[in-house]
Chain A
Amino acid sequence: KAGVTQTPRYLIKTRGQQVTLSCSPISGHRSVSWYQQTPGQGLQFLFEYFSETQRNKGNFPGRFSGRQFSNSRSEMNVSTLELGDSALYLCASSSPGGGAEAFFGQGTRLTVV
């Protein structure tokens, strides 16, 4: 059974640009969550999607957005990139149900220069 797949693994972007990251969850998982990991702030929740609807959102500016498709694949977009957006972006998938285990992908390392 394939795990959570995130693409691309590495990205280098310039300030002011926008970027789109992709996440394919484990087959059968309909919940996808996104997290940002930085040395200073640790792991922080961005948002969660379930059945193509955003269910929860963390405390991030509107430049961070996401969506989920009918096949449960999810994308997150960051517009007008800032140096501080440099981070490891992690995606997690889980099956429906509040007590479900979260499985993470390998992440996308975004560097903004």
Chain B
Amino acid sequence: KQEVTQIPAALSVPEGENLVLNCSFTDSAIYNLQWFRQDPGKGLTSLLLIQSSQREQTSGRLNASLDKSSGRSTLYIAASQPGDSATYLCAGPSGGRRALTFGSGTRLQVQP
């Protein structure tokens, strides 16, 4: 059974800082991992999907990596902005199924 853990639970940084969000998972047979953003009371916005055959995926100021051997993924946000304030969630499929197991999220606040 897949278990996903995210550290830290909350993070507050000044605008302009580069930051790293961490995600760890227990099932190394994971075939992809997805990072999402959630604004309060809203749905999830997909940020990046990394397939198991990839090691990194980039979109604008975001870069995500996946290391299956260590059971870890990181989301790197460059030059953070107040608009980046949100909860960031990582999720991976469980046991080869399409059902996603989510971490509890990292609540990010970027101070202007």
Contact = CB atoms under 8 A, between A and B. Distances in A.
Nearest to B95: A56
B36 A104 contact: yes
Main DSSP-derived SS at the A contact region: strand
Interface residues of B, number: 27
A99 B99 contact: no
A33 B46 contact: no
Contacts of A103: 46
Contacts of A104: 36, 43-46
Contact of A33 (B34, B43, B99): B99
B100 interface: yes
Contacts of A64: none
Given A101-B49, A102-B34, A33 B100 contact: yes
A107 B43 contact: yes
Contacts of A43: 89, 91, 100, 102
Interface string A70-113: 00000000000000000010101010001111111111010000
Interface string A1-17: 00010100000000000
B70 to A, nearest CB: 21
Contacts of A100: 98
Contacts of B41: 88, 109
Contact of B42 (A45, A99, A106): A106
B46 A42 contact: no
Contacts of A28: none
A22 to B, nearest CB: 15
5 contacts: A42-B104, A99-B31, A99-B51, A102-B46, A104-B44
The 7 A-B pairs with the shortest beta carbon distances in the complex, nearest first, are A104-B44, A43-B102, A106-B43, A45-B99, A101-B49, A104-B43, A107-B43
